[in-house]
Amino acid sequence: MIKEVHFFTEMGYNAYDQEAAARYGYTSLLFPNEYFSPEKAQELYGMYFEELQYCTEAGYDGVMINEHHNNPLNMMPSVNVIGSILAKMTKKGKIVFLGNVLPIHENPLRIAEEIAMIDIISGGRVVCGFVRGIGQESMYSNVNPVNNRERFEEAHDLIIDAWTKPGPFRWEGKHFQFRAVNPWMVPLQKPHPPIWIPGISSPESIRYAAQKRYPYIALAPPLSLAKDIYDTYAAAAEEEGYEATPDNRGYSVRAVVADSDERAYEEGKHFYWQLGTSFGLAPRHWQAPPGYQSRAAATSARELSRDSIRAATGSGGSIVPYDEAQETYQIVTGNPDTVIRKLKTIVDVMDPSQLIIWGREGTMPHDVAMRSIDLMTQEVIPALKEYVPQGHC
C-alpha cells in the first residue's frame, strides 16, 4: 500500500530560446548560457519554492529535489543548496534528495557535512538519495566516465563511515584519500538519514540498491518495465537473505489533475516543453559516453528494451508521442476520479510504499500547478492511501 506521496518538480528554466535550441540540436551541456537570464531565473525560483512549500502544507508527505548540470531542464545544480532552503522555509514533510551526484565531486566529506547540517536544521526530515548522474555530468565535471560507478560506490562508503564511525580515522581509497575523517557535523537521524537509490532501469543500480537494502525508486519508466525492475530487485534481495517488501519499492510518475479530463489532458502537454520532451535533447554519447556503462549492462535485454524510455526522455531516437506516453503511464492526466483510477493501476503492478508525483514542468502556469496540488492532496492522495493493491509484482 502507498504510505507516502511526495511532490517533485525539476525546477526547469523555461525561458530559453526554443528556436535557437532547435538550430543547435540539443538543450544541454554545450547549449550556450547566453540564453540564460538571472532575472527570469529569480522569478521562476520564487514560483517553484511557493509551490514546494504549499505542497507540505496542503497534504503531501514531502517534496523531492534533485541535481543536474548544464541543462535548462533543471535549476538545481546543487541539490543541497535547495534542500537547505526548504529545511528552513518548510515546517513539516520530508525533504527527499534524489539526489547528490556522487561521482562528479572530489570531496565526499563536504557532501556528508552538508547533508548532516540540513538534517539538523530540518529537525531530521531528510531522506538522502545518491545517484551516479547522467553521462554528460561526467563530461561537465571532467571526470572519467569509466570510473563513474567505482567513484559512486567509494564515495557512498566514505559518507556512511563519516556519519557512523567515530573519528578521527584515515581513508585510503582508490579515488579518495583523507588523513583525518572527523566531521564535527553529523546527522540528527541515527545511524543516518534513510537512503534511497533512484534510477530508470539499470540492472547494476537495481542490484546495488537491493544489496544495501535501500529502496529503489523507479523514475517514470513505461509501466511495462516495472515488473522486470522489481523482479531483479527481489532476486538480488533473495541472494542477500531477505525478502523484498513494498518498503523497498518506490515509483515516480508525471501526473496532473484538473477539474476535467479535457483540461488535464491539455496541461499534461507541458511535460513535453523542451523541444517536445521533458528531458531535453542530447546526443546518445553525451547521455552514456564510452565506459559509463559496463559492457554487460549495455548489452542486457533490459538495456536493449529501454529505447522507448530514451524516446520519452529525448536522450536519443524518436520522441514517444504524447498519447503513447499516457498509454504507457509515463504521463497521467485527468480529473480526480480518472487520476485515481490510473494511479491504482500503477499501484496494482508495483505495490510501492513510496509514490512520487512529478507534478509540474516547463511552461505549466502557476495557477494550474497549484490547482493540481489541491486536487491531488484533497481527493487523490487520500484515496490512494486507502487502496489495497489487487495484484502486484
**pLDDT tens-digit map of 244-291:** 999 999 999 999 999 999 999 999 999 999 888 877 888 888 888 888
Neighbours of 390 (CB within 10 A): 11
pLDDT for position 283: 86
pLDDT for position 308: 47
pLDDT-derived band of residue 310, with 50, 70 and 90 as boundaries? Answer: very low
Least confident span in 38-42, 178-182, 290-294: 290-294
More confident residue, 302 or 337: 337
**pLDDT tens-digit map of 120-130:** 999 999 999 99
pLDDT for position 325: 93
pTM of the model: 0.94
pLDDT for position 290: 86
- Closest to 81 (Cα-Cα) out of 100, 105, 61: 100
Is residue 168 helix, strand or coil? coil
Least confident span in 164-178, 307-321, 323-337: 307-321
Is residue 306 pLDDT above 90, yes or no? no
In the predicted model, what is the mean pLDDT of residues 33-57? 98
- Closest to 358 (Cα-Cα) out of 259, 219, 199, 262: 219
**pLDDT tens-digit map of 195-252:** 999 998 789 999 999 999 999 999 988 988 888 999 999 999 999 999 999 999 999 9
Report H helices in the chain: 18-24, 38-58, 79-89, 108-122, 135-141, 148-164, 203-212, 226-239, 261-268, 284-287, 295-298, 301-304, 307-313, 322-327, 336-350, 366-375, 381-386
**Three cell numbers at 51?**
509551490
**DSSP label at residue 70:** S
Mean of pLDDT over the chain: 92
Is residue 264 helix, strand or coil? helix
pLDDT for position 313: 54
Give me the domains of the chain, ranges plus CATH numbers: 4-386 (3.20.20.30)
